[in-house]
Structure 1
């Protein structure tokens, strides 16, 4: 796909973003909605492959069902000249793999914040019974504000759909693959939790826990080797945080977190002072079944068979009871104990058959006795009752009526379940268990703090429904805009802020549609006249400056777009102002000034992002125009580029939450960071 090619008359290709095994991804511009998008185009050599097409369609279906601020949104699906494509949200930034490489070591609070965003997105997928099955840092994008977004649901599958598992095809990166997936077993929600544990390990240590020259050697380590300790890598990592990694990556899925929400709730408190002395997590024996660790050759055969789609290998250790037969009595002993019979009796005529019947009866009685004994010794079974929504005391009484007892009790935040009521039980409701089994409970601590998403450009009615179901109060105001009617233009809660849903009211400014104005030629105008014209016609102006031998200083000599055409209200017009003739101008000097913008906590209880606006003045920038607008959750380093010619002095201003906190004038190349 070449640049400037317009797909379906709407999406103009800008450049390639990357190539994958199934599809190529391009940056494109939506000519109708005037926004950048990502276009995922099925590779030409695969468009006739029904399996690939089905996987491509599965991604579209899975992504369509999921609306979440930390899941890449799907905008459109189409086909042109036999080429199938998806139009998705464009996330400007990099994937988590590269983000870790460039920023390692990451602050622990940032690790927790990113993981909480990822976990909330996976929780939404699991709530729709969709398992991602290929969670890895390469499928998690980090935008310029540090927000995480999960992408690539190409091998995601609903729990009710077993086709991918029945073909026994191992998909996904082996570095993040759970032991049960490596064996060829069906992927479950616990498989995603295992992958999330490996991702958390990599964020803390900068590398994956298991490495090898082949996929087979790595798969072997996943279910043979113990998980390496993150605290051996960095002793400053709290034990509570390492315990999250250990519980998420236990070999037995039953010992992992029951849900992603449980993992998120545990992770949220790992830096709390009351968990400072926590002991190292040690897996418990959750059952009597023991799974054999297969040798490398068997694993290789299993993986090869899985790749051929022919067989599945799972080995179990079993104990076969043997029945010891009593020693046979000799014929002379038997005859000596018997009473004499008439000479023509049947027993004398058939002594061998008589003995066979006798011992056969003995053996039959022994078999019956063994069967009866086993049946009598078999534990009685019962069904786990529903205890969600009950208090712990009431749940204990209900379990007792079903001959069950309460096991471990954990506490977690919940926006759906009232405080001090049961959120969930493990094993879950309707599960068959032995009588006197222990049922673990999770009790609600009340509403939980969550990271507020960036909903600008999203459909208001969809966002409103999602946020109201999470406990938010939602209001709206309407404004004329260049974007489509119904799209969100702005929000009064800063994206990335940590807020309590039940205590938060968010107001969205929603587009009421747009109108067009005929743009006049602004060249030769003064700055004040241009601003008056822009305000009267609801236009935004971005001023630049440069040298012009045809226009005197202080007046415009170029604009984009050119005058004479129609533009939407709300559009931004770039106008270049003259600094005069460049006849005596020397070679410009280019340099950077590096600064650290300090973060300011806005609340003692919740972390909220700081809104930072940066203004520059040099050869090409004007101090009245915003150079960069960012949201920060911690003190952040920035580099400001300057181009100065002759005796020109630079100028910068940093405004945080509407207050100027840093400003410097008369900047020269001597101010450059060495």
Structure 2
């Protein structure tokens, strides 16, 4: 049965803001739900603490404080916390929703990862932890379940500070261990204390697991695993997977040293070491391209992308919900738990009774070490003969210049598929394979990855769509709607898009602005003061049914003096338009000066016929002939469609043109 259907929170609105759509996962400490923030209209993940914790005032106080601290962290590899609140008995966090899978899912799907790819998973985690450490925060529960891999290949860490919040509950007391046994540092086991170096230790264990496909320690009970963390040295990953390079072994050994003082000082220090180890690895072309300590290129990982059935069923929930278990439970080494340290079996001499043993030299290991030393010496001699050379740093150079430089260094050069980049100019080198500094045989192939410049997107065809649908389609392709204006149209129904600016198909930078022109519907043109023949032809061409009424008026005969419907009215196509046309006064029309004997009649000039000319050219021509000009916008084109009066007119007469 689908438990989300019976969950009482599904369908409710938390705090009047978060509408719970479905349950994503359930753990011993909290349940995670997919929800809609109705205030901001965005999808979020809401983590709701279980009632046993929510009823504990000490936990609620610590939980609120930790949530505020985490919300202040702004880093691309940390799942953002948006909000924290309470709704009755529910204490919750509102977080960024990250569709994808956990690092635990990746291990289930693929098993161990190649060294380069394992580092490309861990480096963003260290970047996130480093940002938290610099802000004075400790994660306390680093493990694959708390590392999310988005569908586009980004790595994000979740659940900062929640283990610390649980420490404040009345359910825990002195002598309790809080964390995940498989990744718990020796000092967490023995004293219960955790600092930034405990996060470093857990990350080292996680790197070991990514490299080998298993955790370094196994045991029948959680306490037997905890004992081994305290009293044994984490084995080198190469002892499980022989082809792992020594630089990776050294990184794991430093991070998992039993003495915190001998580990990297914090995640940032380990990050520097991890990046250096990554740069020293030879490129195989099978694991993608690492682009820096804050993330991975989309598609950098190979293998299936869908979460396994087990994950879908909730056994590997996203957002690190964890399993907080009571003493005496038997969780796996990957579950967050609360466990008494008194359960650790210690003998009278301080050694656990089941694990005391005498040191015996391993002659096979010593022999292999001597062979390794000889191999290193031989490798150094081989390099000194010039057989191997370092790949030059070509990033940022023009592709042609970089090709020449690589060829001069003795490499064969190939040009790879260009990638979009917002910062790197087109035809500059984004990356090389192998990377800069890698020592490879002279004559080997070096692939240059050029920049295609910023990604551009063609403006989508949205003509005929409603404004809402047009906005959605523009946003879907990665563009933004800018200015929205309205214009009359006799072909596009009201409320639909007439055109875009830039025009459809024009390629613009991703995130660029597209302006929309929306139809205001079919509006009646204002043809008053236009001559009858011009107005009638214009309206009939537009599909209107024109009816003429003549009346005496003190205006030049043939002038339209009124219309119904009036100009600017919204009308239907084919509507009837009544035009009232002047036939002059009943006593005959006269020029004004004909009744004024004090002034001589003015000079008459032929009015230039400027119809169908550009409006600016028409204005200039009429003014040059000695007339005043009034311009009226009728259809919004640049061509004159009407002019009144025409024929011979006195100089200085005002001529009206329509366009």
TM-score by length of 1: 0.42
Larger radius of gyration between Structure 1 and Structure 2: 2
- Larger % of strand: which? 1
TM-score by length of 2: 0.43
Larger RCO, structure (CA 8 Å, separation 6 or more): 2
